[in-house]
Structure 1
Amino acid sequence: MSRLVVVSNRIAPPDDKKSSAGGLAVGILGALKATGGLWFGWSGEIGDEDKPLKKVTKGNITWASFNLSEEHYDQYYSQFSNAVLWPAFHYRLDLVKYQREAWDGYQEVNALLADKLLPLLKEDDILWVHDYHLLPFASELRQRGVNNQIGFFLHIPFPTPEIFNALPPHAELLEQLCDYDLLGFQTESDRLAFLDSLSMQTRLTTRHGKEHVAWGKSFRTEVYPIGIEPKEIAQQAAGPLPPKLAQLKNELKNVKNIFSVERLDYSKGLPERFLAYETLLEKFPQHHGKIRYTQIAPTSRGEVQAYQDIRHQLETEAGRINGKYGQLGWTPLYYLNQHFDRKVLMKVFRYAEVGLVTPLRDGMNLVAKEYVAAQDPADPGVLVLSQFAGAANELTSALLVNPYDRDDVAAAMDRALRMPLAERISRHAEMLKVIKENDIEHWQQRFLSDLKQITPRSAQSQLQSKVATFPKLA
């Protein structure tokens, strides 16, 4: 059986409880356990790049990690991945800060990683590469003679050609992506946006639906919406409450809770969400004193100015809204710029009557799925979900909204707060069915099954050579 090699910007080693808590790590580990394999990525540490790889083996899985120099970390990670690709792929060209040095550093790090991985590879390994940090990675491996099957999954959206082609190195990135054998996207819109961008740069031939040729390279595209572990989340949510949460639940027994959690990021639509909540308070005064909106948004990428700006904006807006609508004994909005344990959040989800998930743009948004999975099926809450989250394609029984329309979001919150039990149960059951069918195991099994069916490039070229030299029948 072929060995699986997973490559990602960061790895979740077995001794790191914090990083291994997420759903993606669970899916990847499940895939690695099935075949045995290697998980290769950055250690998260700044240091000597020439230092030998740190390797940890547990069972049939090996974790191999490397350090990055301060200069490479700054260029590859901070400046290019997070100040060019992230904003552009989330439709925020106004926040893109492109510098040629950062692009060069991004390419250098992908080349460096290819050099570090090369000695670890076996002839029949199958490679699964993750996310926007590693767009050129397959190209670097191909230049070093690697013909193994290499798949790529993009966790974030792929922007339309009008956005993507505004990036100075767009043509180079597109050609490099074609060195992957299988390109996986969260939604059909993302897949088509990639192909549209490609067809504007070169001749794109499509055969058999989702098999393509561009720049003389053959590759396949497919949609793989990422899932969660619904059973585990339901167990975490239904367990006994810690004393502080139990006390809080008792204090809020006469208040309906609107709850939202995500890391602090401009793609999540947080300022727009605050204004929508203010519109709810303004246009539906019957809810005054009877609801509370809690927003948890821990800081991420705090060194980036755009993230500092949004944090300041949210603090200002929260104070203004509470000052305008708050009463003695009632604070309408709680904004917490803190990290909470994932298991605690699942319990909070269960007791929130409304889950508010309204990103301006998101590849999938697993919080939406986690909120649904955490609910009590006999008395579930209502999900208010942005139409621009990838999850909206699957969770069609949520109250779908346009996050740019504060009146639309406010009206959806009002409807959610008043929704009868029978309708809540029906909508929840429909969403939970989809979540269970498309869980994290299904996601990784589908991707890897498709990747294994692709003929490795060396064998492919030999086959083409035999066909070309075989004498034609008269």
Structure 2
Amino acid sequence: MPRLVVVSNRVAVPDPTGNRAAGGLAVALREAFEAYRGLWFGWSGKVAAHPSTEPRIVDKGQVQYALMDLTSLDRQEYYNGFANRALWPIMHYRIGLSEFSRADYQGYLRVNRTFANALAQLIRPDDLVWVHDYHLIPLAAELRAAGITNLIGYFHHIPWPAPEVLGALPGSRELLRAIMDYNLVGVHTERDADNLRRGLIHDLGAIQHKPDVVEVDRQRTRIKGFPIGIDVGEFQRLAGRSQSNRIIRQTTDGLGSRKLIIGVDRLDYSKGIPERMEAFERFLGTNPDQRGRVTYLQIAPTSRSEVPEYATLGRVVNETLGRINGTLGEPGWVPIHYVTSTYQRSVLAGLYRLAAVGLITPMRDGMNLVAKEYVAAQDPADPGVLILSKFAGAAQQLKAALIVNPNDKIEVAEAIREALQMSQEERVSRWESMMSVLQAQDVSWWAATFLKELTSNKTRTASRASVRLAK
């Protein structure tokens, strides 16, 4: 059986107690590693005085971890700079927030080249290589240049924008050329896959051979949607056992007879948190009888605090929060509880189960697993209602949710009212419809389907001429 080599920006090494890392890519790839065994390569998260030329190897049973340190300049240019100040906003349709720097772009290419040169020394001839996310788009091109002929797949965990949006980013053509060095490219939705294929056709003159195969300069790449799932059974178990947790007990006692609305997001401008708060404000304004009878809990751990746009967002959220609570709050009742702490999955599962409404309204999102976790955590006999942005990838699967335009505060406010008034019979029917989708396309299905597609990829041979990025 071939070994699976996973490459990602950050590597989730289990802690010294042997506990597995929770959340994110670690959970998504756990069962894939159990099936294939393998190597996980990427940034250690540490900043060193000198760049790594060889990875630090950590053995943890069936998975070997290969960790690379970055210099402070690498972190600034590759991670904070091009990846998160140029690529991230463009991919989320926020052209006005994208800050392109030629130095940052060169740093992005430099780190990808450094990673590829180090990884090339570890790859065996029959390894399957699976690269993850926007930090590492050029990696396959660099691996091909280093002589690697293995099958290489790429999964893009955030939205892929329309060609006219991506085209606003300097260097976008080079990134599209780099995509062609992957045998298989996965995105969450067919909408994103179509955007990428159209970009390749428009900007590189790609020829489309089949609905999901494009060719540029005799190189063929398959581009498909693979909606990522969650471990449904695990989340159900966590939610069912959560009532004994101290935080869940305290929250239950504090709510009393009030209904809970919950939002859980990383603090990011793509998540629409200020807009969501204002929609809740609109709901309270048009439904004054609900004041004191419903509470909105927004959990939003901070991230990327070194990026100026995120500091600005934090101030906007706090100002919006203060205005709403100050204007509408009453003695003994605060409309919005805002928490920036990071909670364990077991606690989140319990909070989801408590909530009558899951308010998940990103302005743009690749998938949004919180929406799926909220559904999985519900009591089958008395489930809550999911309100979901039509711009989240999850909306393509969870069609029984109340689908809204997050830019329309009136529409979101009306959806909150509808959710709170919905009959138990309708809530159960909607929940059962969404659960059937989650169970059929869970995280195991996602990983197995992608890897099966990669190993059966016959669109081209793995030994191919590389396309080098402009240096």
TM-score using structure 2 length: 0.95
Change (3 A) 1:70 1:23: closer
Superposition deviation, residue 456 in structure 1: 9.3
Task: Tell me what 2:188 maps to.
Answer: 186
Task: Tell me what 1:228 maps to.
Answer: 230
CA distance in 2, matches of 1:202, 1:53: 35
Instruction: Work out whether 1:5 is the aligned partner of 2:5.
Output: yes
Task: Tell me what 2:468 maps to.
Answer: none
Sequence identity percentage: 44
Change (3 A) 1:305 1:138: same
Q: Is this contact kept in 2: 1:149–1:455, CA < 8 A?
A: no
Higher relative contact order (CA 8 A, sep 6+): 2
Change (3 A) 1:269 1:411: same
Counterparts in 2 of 1:117-128, with a 5 A limit?
117-128=119-130
Counterparts in 2 of 1:3-402, with a 5 A limit?
3-15=3-15, 20-47=21-48, 48-50=50-52, 52-239=54-241, 240-402=243-405
Please identify, of 440-449 and 45-54, the stretch whose mean Cα deviation from structure 2 is larger.
45-54
Q: Which runs of 5+ in 2 are unaligned?
A: 466-471
Change (3 A) 1:304 1:138: same
What SS does the corresponding residue of 1:301 show, helix, strand or coil?
A: coil
Give 1:33's aligned amino acid.
E
What SS does the corresponding residue of 1:8 show, helix, strand or coil?
A: strand
Give 1:431's aligned amino acid.
M
- Computing the radius of gyration from Cα coordinates, the structure with the larger value is 1
CA distance in 2, matches of 1:379, 1:452: 43
Q: Is this contact kept in 2: 1:383–1:399, CA < 8 A?
A: yes
Question: Per-residue CA shift, 1:17-61, capped at 9, x if unaligned?
Answer: 898201531231211221221110100000132364221112221
Question: Per-residue CA shift, 1:317-338, capped at 9, x if unaligned?
Answer: 1111111111111111111122
Please identify, of 406-415 and 44-53, the stretch whose mean Cα deviation from structure 2 is larger.
44-53
Superposition deviation, residue 458 in structure 1: 5.5
Question: Per-residue CA shift, 1:146-204, capped at 9, x if unaligned?
Answer: 11000000000001011100111011110011000001011111011111111112222
Task: Tell me what 2:469 maps to.
Answer: none
Change (3 A) 1:161 1:445: same
Q: Is this contact kept in 2: 1:263–1:300, CA < 8 A?
A: yes
Picking from 415, 419, 423, the partner of 1:416 is: 419
Question: Per-residue CA shift, 1:88-140, capped at 9, x if unaligned?
Answer: 00000111110000000100100000110011011111100000000100000
What SS does the corresponding residue of 2:13 show, helix, strand or coil?
A: coil
Give 1:77's aligned amino acid.
Y
Give RMSD over aligned pairs: 1.6
Q: Which runs of 5+ in 1 are unaligned?
A: 463-474
Q: Is this contact kept in 1: 2:189–2:225, CA < 8 A?
A: yes
What SS does the corresponding residue of 1:385 show, helix, strand or coil?
A: strand
CA distance in 1, matches of 2:372, 2:164: 30
Superposition deviation, residue 444 in structure 1: 0.2
Please identify, of 246-255 and 296-305, the stretch whose mean Cα deviation from structure 2 is larger.
246-255
Give 1:196's aligned amino acid.
R
Task: Tell me what 2:429 maps to.
Answer: 426
CA distance in 1, matches of 2:392, 2:263: 15
- Runs of 4+ aligned residues of structure 1 deviating over 6 Å after TM superposition are 16-19, 459-462
